[in-house]
C-alpha cells in the first residue's frame, strides 16, 4: 500500500495520508506523490476539487524527522518545495479534513486550503522553533495575517498545540465535527463544489488570492532558503537526534 493514496471520483481528487504507523509523517517520496497529484488535478478538466485527509486519529505528524536528518531537501526542485509551490498556486478549490494531530506542514498546508473541517480532537502545531527551524510554506506571512500578531507569535515562537475551537475562532477552521465524521463531511462539501461551474470556482479563487499571490511566493522562497540552511545547523541536528533517541533536546551548547 502506498503512503499517499490518490483517488479521483465525481470531479473530486482525494489525497489521503496513509502512513499511520509513523503518524502520517511525510517523506520526500510522499511529497513527490502529492506534487504529482496536484499537477494532474490542476491540468485535468474533469477534476474540480481536491481534498486532503488523514485518519480519524491523526492528520499528519509533519515532515519525517529521519528524512530531515538523513536527506534534507537540497534544491528548489526537491519534492517538498515542488509540493509547496503546487498547493500555494493551486487554482481550484482545496479542502482539508483534519482529525488528531496536525504538526508542522500538517498545519501550514491548511493556510493554502479554501475550506478546513476539523475533528474535535484536532491539535494544530507549528513547532519550528523547538526544532531549531523557522516557519515554511509562507506561514510566517499567513499566520500573523489570519491570527493577529500576538496570537501568531504564540503559535510560532512557543510552538505549542492549539485545538479545534481556538482554530475555528481565529478563522483557520470552518467547522468542528466528531472525528469519525470529518472525512465524510469534507467529501460531501467537495461534491457540492464539484457540481458548480469550474470556471466560476477558479475565477473566484483567483480574485480572492491575487492581492498577495506574488508575496506568498516571495515569502516562501525566503523561508525555504533559511529553512534549508537551518536544517543543517547544530540546533536542528540536536532536535532531530533527540527525537530519534526519545529524549529532550539540549540546546545549551548550540
Burial of 137 (0-12, 13-18, 19+ CB in 10 A): buried
Nearer to ligand COA, 79 or 101 (CB): 101
Single out the residue of 13, 14, 63, 139 in contact with ligand COA (rule: CB under 6 A). 63
Stretch that binds ligand COA, among 39-47, 57-65, 80-88, 147-155 (CB under 6 A): 57-65
- Give me the 86-125 binding string for ligand COA, x by CB under 6 A, dash otherwise: ---------------x-xx---------------------
110, 116 Cβ separation under 8 angstroms: yes
Please provide residue 205's backbone torsions phi and psi, each rounded to the nearest 5 degrees. Answer: -65, -45
Say how many CA atoms lie within 13 Å of 162 toward its Cβ: 20
- Rounded CA-CA distance 86/4 in Å is 16
110, 54 Cβ separation under 8 angstroms: no
Reduced to 3 states, what is the DSSP secondary structure of residue 233?
A: coil
Stretch that binds ligand COA, among 56-64, 70-78, 174-182, 183-191 (CB under 6 A): 56-64
Is 159 among the residues that bind ligand COA (CB under 6 A)? no
Nearer to ligand COA, 63 or 174 (CB): 63
Stretch that binds ligand COA, among 1-9, 61-69, 89-97, 217-225 (CB under 6 A): 61-69
Single out the residue of 65, 87, 99, 116 in contact with ligand COA (rule: CB under 6 A). 65
134, 128 Cβ separation under 8 angstroms: yes
Stretch that binds ligand COA, among 58-66, 145-153, 174-182, 193-201 (CB under 6 A): 58-66
Shortest-Cβ-distance residue relative to ligand COA? 104
Per 3-state DSSP, what percentage of the chain is helix, strand, and coil (rounded to 5)? 50, 15, 30
**Contact set with ligand COA (CB under 6 A):** 22-23, 25, 61-66, 101, 103-104, 127, 131
Amino acid at each position: 500500500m502506498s503512503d499517499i493514496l490518490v483517488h479521483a471520483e465525481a470531479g473530486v481528487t482525494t489525497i489521503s495520508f496513509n502512513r499511520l504507523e509513523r503518524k502520517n509523517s511525510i517523506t520526500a517520496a510522499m511529497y513527490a506523490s502529492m506534487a504529482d497529484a496536484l499537477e494532474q488535478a490542476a491540468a485535468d478538466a474533469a477534476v474540480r476539487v481536491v481534498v486532503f485527509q488523514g485518519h480519524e486519529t491523526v492528520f499528519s505528524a509533519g515532515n519525517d524527522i529521519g528524512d530531515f536528518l538523513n536527506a534534507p531537501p537540497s534544491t528548489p526542485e526537491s519534492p517538498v518545495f515542488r509540493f509547496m509551490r503546487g498547493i500555494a498556486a493551486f487554482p481550484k478549490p482545496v479542502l482539508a479534513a483534519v482529525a488528531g494531530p496536525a504538526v508542522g506542514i500538517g498545519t501550514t498546508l491548511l493556510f493554502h486550503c479554501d475550506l478546513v473541517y476539523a475533528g474535535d480532537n484536532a491539535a494544530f502545531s507549528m513547532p519550528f522553533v523547538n526544532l531549531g527551524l523557522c516557519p515554511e510554506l509562507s506561514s510566517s506571512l499567513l499566520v500573523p495575517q489570519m491570527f493577529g500578531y500576538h496570537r501568531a507569535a504564540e503559535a510560532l515562537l512557543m510552538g505549542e498545540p492549539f485545538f479545534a475551537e481556538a482554530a475555528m475562532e481565529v478563522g483557520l477552521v470552518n467547522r468542528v465535527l466528531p472525528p469519525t465524521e470529518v472525512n465524510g463531511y469534507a467529501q460531501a462539501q467537495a461534491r457540492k463544489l464539484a457540481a458548480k461551474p469550474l470556471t466560476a470556482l477558479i475565477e473566484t479563487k483567483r480574485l480572492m488570492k491575487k492581492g498577495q499571490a506574488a508575496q506568498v511566493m516571495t515569502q516562501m522562497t525566503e523561508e525555504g532558503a533559511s529553512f534549508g540552511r537551518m536544517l543543517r545547523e547544530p540546533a536542528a541536528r540536536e532536535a532531530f537526534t533527540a527525537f530519534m533517541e526519545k529524549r529532550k533536546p539540549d540546546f545549551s551548547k548550540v
